[in-house]
Amino acid sequence: MINLCPTQCNLCGSKVKYMSNALIYGRRYGSGFCYCCTSCGAYVGTHEPQPKKAYGILGNEEMRRWKIKCHALFDACWKGKKQSGKLRDQLYRKLADQMEIPMHECHFGYFDMAQLKQAYDILKEWRG
């Protein structure tokens, strides 16, 4: 189960602080809050209606790049298509099956580096 109110960094084990995301972005963005590691600087944003609930696990710069790459491939498979919401759900289910993880854990924000790379390879295969 993913801890969406982290107190310890999943990357280095150090203390995590709940704080204004203006310290990262230079201005308040989205919910206005994030969780940030006090040691390695990894961070994760929070949901707009539930600002204490993280989008996933903390990520460093490399993880954030991989999340963007995965989302670009994944979103190209469903965005702008007929019944896009239903298709998106079907594609998440297919990805979960191929990664052999439960559907409720199939979220790019929840993936560690190994899972991001695995998802990227699967998504590249979908594109042929």
Q: Which domain holds residue 85?
A: 61-127
Q: Which of 38, 40, 43, 44 is nearest to 12 (CA)?
A: 40
Residues 74 and 120 in one domain: yes
Tokens 């989302």 correspond to: 71
Residues 50 and 74 in one domain: no
- So what's the pLDDT on residue 81? 86
Residue range 58-88, pLDDT digits in tens: 999 999 999 999 999 999 999 988 888 899 9
Mean pLDDT of 103-108: 96
Residues 53 and 13 in one domain: yes
Residues 18 and 44 in one domain: yes
Residues 12 and 2 in one domain: yes
Mean pLDDT of 13-26: 96
Residues 39 and 73 in one domain: no
- So what's the pLDDT on residue 1? 77
Confidence of residue 33 (pLDDT cuts 50, 70, 90): very high
Residues 47 and 67 in one domain: no
Confidence of residue 127 (pLDDT cuts 50, 70, 90): confident
Query: Is it the case that residue 128 has pLDDT exceeding 80?
Result: no
Mean pLDDT, the chain, integer: 95
How far is it, in rounded angstroms, from Cα 4 to Cα 84? 27
8-12, 51-55, 80-84, 89-93: which has the minimum mean pLDDT?
Answer: 80-84
Confidence of residue 89 (pLDDT cuts 50, 70, 90): very high
- Tell me how many domains the chain contains: 2
How far is it, in rounded angstroms, from Cα 29 to Cα 78? 26
- So what's the pLDDT on residue 84? 83
